[in-house]
């Protein structure tokens, strides 16, 4: 875990700007996959709408930066609080649903939020918000701001890894695993399932919301169609599956590998128009033949690796 | 006043087609507990199927509808054996992802072949006019055909041996298997029927509006809303849900800007899921 973060911190200093851009996107994908893993991998609730945290966090954060002139850290904190509270309230409602019904409801949440934000004048409606160049001055101008934002993203990645690890090792995490295996049995044994589910739903929204602020602040523009892109939400599931659900290392690896793979397919001339086809075929192959993902496969092959890759 | 009436009628007509799309989704869910995320891709394939049959073979679009149905059935059965069969009975996540993978493959191939520029099928029939408003004839015919296809499916499920077998598998797969019903083969048939109906709804939509390979996605979302309104797994409810959705769209359009319609739709969708997970209607036999 420390090695991953250290690699992310050191490599771009040697490799230059192109590599940093790729790693930045990789870090954001890893944050999404790791936090989604808390819901799907740990708790067994298929959240198809995890992107709503990312997008809404970005919207709130960018709004405070452009309209109220908040510094970045305050915007991130503000976005995290707003999104976490909304997620908690929403979670208490939709987490009464189980299985496929919950998955459908989360799709509904994304679409409803996207449609609402696209009509919401305060957030710029369907054209979104643009960030004025002067907003980058406190970070030392646009050029240096990109580096600052990169390291903030790496910091969020480190926080995601740490949170995933600590939750997995905690009593709370065991409660979540119990809910995943059999929710009714878990409740009989004294796990407060509705509360646990709402807390983890809300907790899994905090770091993606902050990542949303960083990501869209770096882009300089935020629009509802990109902020609430259902496809990215499902891609996050693909990343998590690729690496191996319910494992910290797997989700991180999946996010990174998917970003590299996608980048390769998009740039390789032979594949660029077929990248969706290949990604789909890969997903199908994982689902049908290796549902445990890369890490699940490793664990099965060499049980000793279970101790190393949590 | 006439304006509102015309808008509501038009909404109901389009709603019948949403209902048909929802029937396909709900049939698959009802029989094998799989939410088919490739539904939108299959609707889009139906649109393109109709386009090519009409543009290159010179078929009348309505005469091409049975061909689209048959083609959809074949595609559905193939998809079932490749992607769905192995994930039946496993965690929901697996079937959701398997069907989503199919969707990615189909959309990817479609984008490569036809790009994302819009196509349209030209049909024009004399409409019905009143008070300065006209209900186009092809809207009326398309919704009648949607109801006919849905009715035929209903009759198939309730009055034929194969249809009864499918319902038996939906009720209790083990028991059906013990009665000598080849359940895997019937699941394949049910999946094929669901896709055939989806493709047919896509074909009917293609006669009304211009479309691209990506258009399926928005109709897939509407199908979700429709099935939830009608109760997941309840075909007759889905058709009513479609009419209800069309009615809502038609009756809010004159009053609020069109871009707010999805806000109303999806908020309603989440609220109904939370408070009425069984759907709003209890219709059909055996309920």
Residue among B101, B109, B262 minimizing CB distance to A284: B101
Alpha-carbon span B182 to B164, nearest angstrom: 13
Residue among B83, B108, B109 minimizing CB distance to A284: B83
DSSP string, A121-140: GGGTGGG-EE--GGGGGGGT
With contacts defined as CB-CB under 8 Å, which chain B residues touch A275? 108
Residue B73: band (very low, low, confident or very high) from pLDDT cuts 50, 70, 90: very high
Q: Are B227 and B26 in contact (CB under 8 A)?
A: yes
Would you say residue A178 lies in a domain? yes
Would you say residue B239 lies in a domain? yes
Residue B282: band (very low, low, confident or very high) from pLDDT cuts 50, 70, 90: low
B-contacting residues of A 264-293, CB under 8 Å? 273-281, 283-284, 287-288, 291
pLDDT tens for the 310 residues of chain A, in order: 777 777 777 777 777 777 888 888 889 999 999 999 999 889 988 888 889 999 999 999 999 988 888 888 899 999 999 999 999 999 888 888 887 788 888 988 998 898 898 888 788 888 888 887 777 877 777 778 888 888 899 999 999 999 999 999 999 999 999 998 888 899 888 888 889 999 999 999 999 999 999 999 988 889 888 888 888 888 888 888 888 888 888 888 888 888 888 888 777 766 666 777 887 888 888 888 888 888 888 887 777 777 666 6
Residue among A100, A241, A288 minimizing CB distance to B35: A100
pLDDT at residue B285 greater than cutoff 50: no
Q: What angle do CA A282, A287, A291 make, to 5 degrees?
A: 120
Least Cα separation, residue B208 to chain A (angstroms): 24
Residue of B nearest to A91 (CA): B274
Q: Give the whole-number percent of chain B exceeding pLDDT 90.
A: 38
Residue among B94, B103, B266 minimizing CB distance to A287: B94
Query: What integer best gives the mean pLDDT of chain B?
Result: 87
A-contacting residues of B 234-273, CB under 8 Å? 257, 259-260, 262-263, 265-267, 269-270, 273
- Interchain CB distance below 8 Å, A288 and B98: yes
Most B-contacting residue of A280, A290, A291 (CB-CB within 10 A), to test interface: A280
With contacts defined as CB-CB under 8 Å, which chain B residues touch A283? 97, 100-101, 104
- Interchain CB distance below 8 Å, B232 and A101: yes
Least Cα separation, residue A157 to chain B (angstroms): 25
Most A-contacting residue of B225, B270, B272 (CB-CB within 10 A), to test interface: B270
Q: Give the whole-number percent of chain B exceeding pLDDT 70.
A: 98
Counted domains in chain B: 1
Domain with A124, as residue range(s), is 2-229
Residue among A237, A280, A288 minimizing CB distance to B105: A280
A-contacting residues of B 81-140, CB under 8 Å? 83, 86-87, 90-94, 96-98, 100-105, 107-109, 111-112
The single-letter DSSP state of residue B211 is B
Would you say residue B221 lies in a domain? yes
Residue B69: band (very low, low, confident or very high) from pLDDT cuts 50, 70, 90: very high
Alpha-carbon span B103 to B107, nearest angstrom: 6
Tokens of A230: 């259902």
Alpha-carbon span B198 to B226, nearest angstrom: 13
Q: SS3 sequence, chain B?
A: CHHHHHHHHHHHHHHHHHHHHHHHHHHHHHHHCCCCCCHHHHHHHHHHHHHHHHHHCCCCHHHHHHHHHHHHHHHHHHHHHHHHHHHCCCCHHHHHHHHHHHHHHHHHHHHHHHCCCCECCCCCCCCEEECCEEECHHHHHHHHHHHHHHHHHHHHHHHCHHHHHHHHHHHCHHHHHHCCCCHHHHHHHHHHHHHHHHHHHHHHHHCCCCECCCCHHHHHHHHHHHHHHHCCCCHHHHHHHHHHHHHHHHHHCCCCCHHHHHHHHHHHHHHHHHHCCCCCCCCCCCC
- Interchain CB distance below 8 Å, A44 and B91: yes
A-contacting residues of B 48-77, CB under 8 Å? none
Would you say residue A131 lies in a domain? yes
- Interchain CB distance below 8 Å, B262 and A111: yes
**Terminal C-alpha separation, chain A:** 10
Q: Is A10 exposed, middle or buried (0-12, 13-18, 19+ CB in 10 A)?
A: exposed
Q: Is A50 exposed, middle or buried (0-12, 13-18, 19+ CB in 10 A)?
A: buried
DSSP string, B54-89: HHHS---HHHHHHHHHHHHHHHHHHHIIIIIGGGTT
- Interchain CB distance below 8 Å, B273 and A111: no
With contacts defined as CB-CB under 8 Å, which chain A residues touch B105? 276-277, 280-281, 284
pLDDT at residue A5, rounded to an integer: 77
pLDDT at residue A271, rounded to an integer: 65
Alpha-carbon span A203 to A49, nearest angstrom: 15
- Interchain CB distance below 8 Å, A280 and B108: yes
Residue among A101, A112, A277 minimizing CB distance to B266: A112
Least Cα separation, residue A272 to chain B (angstroms): 10
pLDDT at residue A241, rounded to an integer: 85
Tokens of A217: 């602040």
Would you say residue A264 lies in a domain? no
- Interchain CB distance below 8 Å, B112 and A277: yes
Q: SS3 sequence, A169-217?
A: HCHHHHHHHHHHHCHHHHHHCCCCHHHHHHHHHHHHHHHHHHHHHHHHH
Least Cα separation, residue B104 to chain A (angstroms): 5
pLDDT at residue B6, rounded to an integer: 85
- Interchain CB distance below 8 Å, B101 and A287: yes
Residue B271: band (very low, low, confident or very high) from pLDDT cuts 50, 70, 90: confident
Counted domains in chain A: 1
> What is the sign, positive or negative, of the torsion defined by CA atoms of B61, B65, B68, B70?
negative
Task: Show Cβ contacts of residue A88 under 8 Å, excluding neighbours closer than 6 positions.
Answer: A198, A199, A201, A202
Least Cα separation, residue B125 to chain A (angstroms): 34
pLDDT at residue B24 greater than cutoff 90: yes
Alpha-carbon span B36 to B21, nearest angstrom: 12
CATH no. for residue B11?
1.10.3470
Among left, alpha and beta (phi > 0; psi -120 to 50; other), residue B182 is beta
With contacts defined as CB-CB under 8 Å, which chain B residues touch A46? 92-93, 96
Closest CA to B250 of B121, B124, B133: B133
Domain with B110, as residue range(s), is 2-275
pTM of the model: 0.85
- Interchain CB distance below 8 Å, B97 and A237: yes
pLDDT at residue B72 greater than cutoff 80: yes
Would you say residue B280 lies in a domain? no
- Report which secondary-structure segment, H or E, holds A46: none
Strand partners, B130: B133
Would you say residue B210 lies in a domain? yes
Q: Which of A200-214, B28-42, B129-143 shows the lowest mean pLDDT across its residues? A: B129-143
DSSP string, chain A: -HHHHHHHHHHHHHH-HHHHHHHHHHHHHHHHHHHHHIIIIII----TTTHHHHHHHHHHHHHHHHHH---HHHHHHHHHHHHHHHHHHHHHHHTTS-HHHHHHHHHHHHHHHHHHHHH-GGGTGGG-EE--GGGGGGGTHHHHHHHHHHHHHHHHHHHHHHHHHHHHHSHHHHHHHHHHH-HHHHHHTT--HHHHHHHHHHHHHHHHHHHHHHHHHHHTEE-HHHHT-HHHHHHHHHHHHHH-TT-HHHHHHHHHHHHHHHHHHHHSTTTGGGHHHHHHHHHHHHHHH-TTHHHHHHHHH-TTHHHH--
- Interchain CB distance below 8 Å, A277 and B108: yes
Q: Are A310 and A165 in contact (CB under 8 A)?
A: yes
């Amino acid at each position: 875990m420390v090695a991953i973060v250290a690699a992310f911190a050191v490599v771009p200093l040697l490799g230059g700007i192109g590599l940093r851009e790729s790693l930045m996107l990789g870090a954001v994908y890893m944050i999404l996959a790791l936090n989604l893993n808390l819901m799907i991998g740990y708790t067994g609730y298929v959240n198809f709408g995890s992107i709503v945290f990312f997008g809404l966090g970005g919207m709130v954060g960018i709004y405070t930066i452009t309209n109220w002139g908040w510094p970045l850290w305050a915007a991130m904190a503000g976005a995290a609080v707003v999104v976490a509270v909304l997620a908690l309230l929403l979670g208490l409602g939709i987490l009464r649903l189980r299985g496929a019904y919950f998955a459908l409801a989360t799709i509904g949440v994304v679409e409803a939020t996207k449609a609402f934000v696209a009509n919401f004048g305060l957030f710029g409606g369907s054209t979104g918000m643009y960030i004025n160049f002067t907003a980058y001055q406190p970070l030392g101008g646009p050029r240096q701001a990109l580096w600052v934002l990169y390291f903030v993203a790496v910091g969020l990645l480190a926080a995601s890894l740490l949170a995933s690890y600590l939750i997995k090792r905690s009593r709370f995490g065991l409660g979540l695993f119990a809910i995943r295996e059999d929710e009714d049995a878990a409740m009989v044994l004294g796990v407060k399932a509705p509360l646990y589910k709402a807390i983890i739903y809300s907790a899994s929204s905090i770091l993606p919301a902050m990542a949303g602020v960083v990501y869209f602040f770096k882009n300089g523009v935020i629009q509802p169609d990109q902020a609430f892109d259902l496809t990215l939400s499902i891609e996050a599931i693909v990343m998590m599956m690729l690496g191996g659900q319910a494992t910290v290392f797997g989700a991180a690896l999946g996010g990174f590998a998917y970003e590299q793979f996608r980048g390769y397919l998009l740039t390789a001339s032979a594949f660029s128009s077929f990248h969706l086809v290949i990604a789909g075929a890969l997903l199908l192959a994982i689902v049908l033949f290796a549902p445990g993902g890369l890490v699940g496969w490793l664990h099965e092959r060499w049980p000793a690796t279970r101790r190393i890759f949590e | 006043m006439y304006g509102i009436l015309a808008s509501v009628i038009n909404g109901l007509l389009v709603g019948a087609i949403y209902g048909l799309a929802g029937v396909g989704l709900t049939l698959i869910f009802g029989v094998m507990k799989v939410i088919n995320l490739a539904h939108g891709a299959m609707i889009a394939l139906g649109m393109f199927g109709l386009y090519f049959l009409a543009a290159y073979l010179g078929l009348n679009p309505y005469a091409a509808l049975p061909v689209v149905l048959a083609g959809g059935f074949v595609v559905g059965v193939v998809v079932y054996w490749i992607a769905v069969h192995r994930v039946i009975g496993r965690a929901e996540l697996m079937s959701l992802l398997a069907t989503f993978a199919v969707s990615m493959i189909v959309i990817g191939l479609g984008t490569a072949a036809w790009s994302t520029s819009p196509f349209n099928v030209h049909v024009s029939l004399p409409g019905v006019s009143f008070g300065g408003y006209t209900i186009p004839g092809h809207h009326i015919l398309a919704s009648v055909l949607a109801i006919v296809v849905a009715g035929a499916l209903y009759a198939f499920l309730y009055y034929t041996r194969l249809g009864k077998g499918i319902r038996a598998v939906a009720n209790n797969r083990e028991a059906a298997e013990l009665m000598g019903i080849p359940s895997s083969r019937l699941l394949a048939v049910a999946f094929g029927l669901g896709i055939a109906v989806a493709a047919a709804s896509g074909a009917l939509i293609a006669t009304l509006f211009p479309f691209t390979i990506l258009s399926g996605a928005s109709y897939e979302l509407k199908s979700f809303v429709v099935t939830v309104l009608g109760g997941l797994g309840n075909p007759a409810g889905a058709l009513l849900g479609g009419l209800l959705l069309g009615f809502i769209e038609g009756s809010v359009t004159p009053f609020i800007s069109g871009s707010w319609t999805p806000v109303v739709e999806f908020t309603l969708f989440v609220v109904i899921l939370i408070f009425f997970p069984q759907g709003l209607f209890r219709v059909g036999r055996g309920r």
